[in-house]
Structure 1
């Protein structure tokens, strides 16, 4: 599907949602090939869910990117203080089965110690998570974020790096040794390499931390400038982007 602008793509997604919701029993009918391509199947539940989504967390959806980011910051403060409010994950399960309306998207590392919902003290359905070792954004990640922003309505995108990131460390060692690791890991190294090259000339006292921070910044910038959808939504203020560094030992997220 070829579109001339972010607006036309966004309009197509919205029209597909409206067409899909005209039928209450869409799940029993045949879905057209065009509907599948446009994402109509996934949008049906989303549209019916939007009116009641606030009941899921008993907290109104953020009205702006700044409000969405502040909600994540407030949640992280609760997490650090060990005062979480989202502990009953069975609450709202039936309502969530109708669809999803996350208010934020988080690009996180696959590291098992990095759990965005816990880190930001949010409930199921609140955060749209894209995960890959090294928390970088590739084509698949961009497509996921476009879906989250244009279809699901997330207000902010956070690229979350973390302390002691093994993927970034492997990239540094690969550059220093001039050897690539085996298997498919070189694809991760090549994606993270630009961040390491950016900070190496500065001879930072902690190269790993500096590279982790720069990697998060570069990918947050990528999310903000990716055409045609995210860049347009970012320019209009519909979506905000931020880079953060999660300290595994303290639980605190520092926004860069």
Structure 2
């Protein structure tokens, strides 16, 4: 397989999985065992493409929040977005500075997929008995921030799954409301993380050897597929639960453990 085709497939995979509750990092780690490992810079850029996609999807919502700060409801929502981002930064930065690195083996990802899938099913069953609530509380905001850090430490957990389902468990039981809040928090969080990692790589002088054609193709693929997938997901969850994603995670994780019992 050519490097360009591999880059295209990885970009598509990032766009498809970044905001679905199935773990983009986990899928990229798995895919790169077959498509070839890529640099940290490559992974940062395609993630930035997915972030750009969701920014485009929510452009009207972001504009209404920015221009409607004179309204108390909008100010409260923005402050809680900021609180979730701040918690992620305050807790996550020390983890990053401590030198935490993602594992290179698949077995931790497989276990995270299985455990996360079971967690999703349990939360869905519990919140189904509760009335729909769409108000973001301070508890939800702080919980979302912590969930994002946990997802960054354990690949396969999924940032969106961890944050959405913890938000639902903490009282934001309406799926659409929880998903929107988590996605909006993810925009500054992931832009900041990508920028930080980019500056680290630039400082170390690791950018000169990049294949910019591959990077550009993968970035555009992530933008386009990410935009399509997020638009689809926002419509899907209006009338469906996340059960299908949970089952997929469990089956994929179990399949990986059976296929790679030694965690290679």
| TM superposition score normalised by structure 2 | 0.28
Question: Greater Rg, structure 1 or structure 2?
Answer: 1
Structure number with the bigger relative contact order (C-alpha 8 A, sep ≥ 6) is 2
| TM superposition score normalised by structure 1 | 0.28
Which is helix-richer, 1 or 2? 2
